Structure 1
Amino acid sequence: MFLRATLAAALLAVPALAQDDPLPSWNDGPTKQAIVAFVQAATAEGGPGFIAPDDRIATFDNDGTLWSEQPMYFQGMFVNDRIRAMAADHPEWADEMPYKAVLDGDLAALGAAGEQGLVELVAATHAGMTNEEFEALVKDWIATARHPRFDRPYTDLVFQPMLEVLDYLRDNGFETWIVSGGGIDFMRPWAEQVYGIPPQQVVGSQIAVTYNDQDGPPRFDREPGVFFVDDKAGKPVGILRHIGKRPVIAFGNSDGDFEMLDYVTAGDGPDLGLIVHHTDAAREWAYDRDSHVGQLARALDAAPDEGWLLIDMASDWKVIYPFEKQ
């Protein structure tokens, strides 16, 4: 809230964007201008929007904010592929839910299995191995799996405009963190290569693990239980545990990010909250209130009063994915 007057003043003071455009995949408009104005104000020492370098922290949801999330969360696609790969060793799964739903490709039945079904699938595919073994599975999947609509690796479906924001913020002294409902151990193996975000700056949901120093080198054994869910009210808790201070920028795309946006923009100093609104059915997908993933209703309604900016994918972004530039 504090930043509204500061941004207005900064926008009046900033001339047309420099020729060296830090966000070339963004169309010129209020959203792009607000991001640039915020960063310029944050780095203008002595100005009303100045943010000390140690406090320049930006958090980003992952699914639907940094990469696509349809037709289901990409970690869900990983789970499904793992179930199919493991099915030969588990013939009983052909008749047992929720495994049968995955093997039959029955999304309705899979959805009906609910949270308990998801927990069972995660336990079957994410536990019973060491952390190193799980990391190897993730790296192999990321390198070989293809998205069903685009027939490309899932990491090709990252958002080019958001990659530019990450670089722009880091070039101006901001730390960039992922704060996602996705699994922390699913994201860490590839986040640095794809986003430039190192493993220690990834916050996510966590499976239970135990430290084991018996029968060989010390290792972490992954157990069939959930330790922490980094979604909704869990996101500010994850920020507190991993970062230890309130960020000044938050990017999200769904109601699962509401509490993170609320927390980040509740401080006394400059802050900025932004929501990626999926409005482009031709190049990506168009969805919000009625979506089975990435539902955006509560945060969409609250955005005007809270001062959160809506990033209209169809009108704000010249391209969606890096491969569109080729």
Structure 2
Amino acid sequence: MFAVRDFLKSAHLGAVAVAAALLLVTSAKAQNDPLPSWNDTAPKAAIVAFVEKVTTENSPDFVPEPERIAVFDNDGTLWVEHPMYTQLAFALDRVKAEAAAHPEWKDKQPFKAVLEGDMKALAAAGEKGLVELIMETHADMTHDEFQKLVSEWLATARDPKFNKPYTELVYQPMLELLAYLRANGFKTFIVSGGGIEFVRPWAEQVYGVPPEQVVGSSIKTQFEMRDGTPTLFRLPQVNFIDDKAGKPVGINAHIGRRPIAAFGNSDGDLEMLQWTTMTGESVRFGMIIHHTDADREYAYDRKSEFGRLDKALDAAAINKWTVVDMKADWKEIFLKK
């Protein structure tokens, strides 16, 4: 009887020891996982496999650190872009804030549409109308004045659906990806269709991407001496549009190296992904974030006014780019506080 009891006691202790060991292994594995907000599905595996290939010395796919350049679109790739691009929301608020000084706007489109909350009329104004809004609300001020406006707006503005600051509506899985790449010798750049001076004030704090690693659209700026002080003054003229075919041009002008990895979410990123991956040289990586989660965020693709994903989605299948299904592949969507 004592032998049986001792055996059972020994077996119990052994089971406890095995369970404890398994718990420690699981815990260590979780702690060592650089992408904990990603489900263990194909996109995560593809990311890890790519990084291991290009960072393993003496392998045929090894890439020296100076050449490990990764480029990321911003709107819809790193943070929320619905119900409209965040910079557009900023421009609309600027129209309302400046309306008293511009009585002519109440009868002039697209400003009339903004002041009356007529989103249909605003959409009808198209790209030309949106550029006019940007020119009127982002120019005729110094560089420092504009940076201050952006920082103050982001500190108080709230997204209409989630009632949170826009800088909290960044994607936790993508923050982990940025950190994972940097930990493996990558230099990470933002290549945005949005304004370069709109993104720079907060990109380092939110994404860990310093201002010199932000590429974006810009308006013309000129140097002036004002009251003995050297100043950069923003003019109401388009300088460069960093979208679609403009993205490879912007990358070449600002970075001077062709990236080996590119991450986007829309047709505006198609040419950037093509430029990065269709080289015939070494291993390359392209990824598209597909918004499929209507419950936790939004679901949209081919017919969306903002962040349309149509041609790039078709190209992904042809070029073997990795497509992330947000609903299936991400455990978390937004930044963990």
Taking structure 1 as the reference length, the TM-score comes to: 0.93
Q: Aligned match of 1:171 in 168, 175, 183?
A: 183
Question: Is residue 2:221 matched to residue 1:221?
Answer: no
Please give the per-residue CA displacement for 1:59-93, whole angstroms capped at 9, x wherever unaligned. 00000000010000000000001111111222222
- Aligned twin of 1:278: 291
Amino acid at match of 2:250: G
Alpha-carbon offset, residue 119 of structure 1: 2.1
Equivalence for 2:155: 143
Q: Please name the residue that 1:3 is paired with.
A: none
Distance in 2, Cα, partners of 1:114 & 1:31 = 35
Matched, 1:294 2:307: yes
> Which residue identity does 1:150 align to in structure 2?
F
Partner residue of 1:318 out of 314, 322, 331: 331
**Percentage of identical aligned residues:** 60
> Which of 45, 49, 60 is 1:48 aligned to?
60
CA RMSD after TM alignment: 1.3
Which stretch of the first structure deviates more once superposed, 149-158 or 44-53?
A: 44-53
> How many Å separate the matches in 1 of 2:132 and 2:271?
27
Q: State how far apart, in whole Å, the 1-side matches of 2:197 and 2:233 are.
A: 13
**1:70 and 2:79 matched:** no
Q: Are 1:263 and 2:266 an aligned pair?
A: no
Q: Is the 8 A contact 1:206 1:227 kept in 2?
A: yes
1:236–1:260: 8 Å Cα contact kept in structure 2?
A: yes
Please give the secondary structure, in 2, of the residue aligned with 1:211: strand
What is the CA–CA distance in structure 1 between the aligned matches of 2:100 and 2:174, rounded to whole Å?
A: 40
Gap regions ≥5 residues in structure 1: 1-15
Mapped to 2, the partners of 1:251 and 1:18 lie a distance apart of 27
Q: Give the equivalent residue in structure 2 for 1:124.
A: 136
Encode CA deviations 1:237-268: one digit per residue, 9 max, x unaligned.
Answer: 00000000100000000000000000000221
User: 1:209-234 CA distances to partner (integer Å, 9 max, x unpaired)?
Assistant: 11112532111110011000000000
**Which amino acid in the other structure matches residue 216 of structure 2?**
G
Counterpart in 1 of 2:46? 34
AA aligned to 1:212 is E
Q: Give runs of ≥4 in structure 1 deviating > 3 Å.
A: 16-19
Contiguous gaps of at least 5 residues in structure 2:
1-25
> Using the alignment, how far apart are the partners of 1:50 and 1:148 within structure 2?
45
2 CA distance for matches of 1:70 and 1:316? Answer: 20
Structure of greater Rg: 2
Partner of 2:102: 90
Question: d(CA) in 2 for partners of 1:116 and 1:233?
Answer: 18
Paired letter, 1:291: S
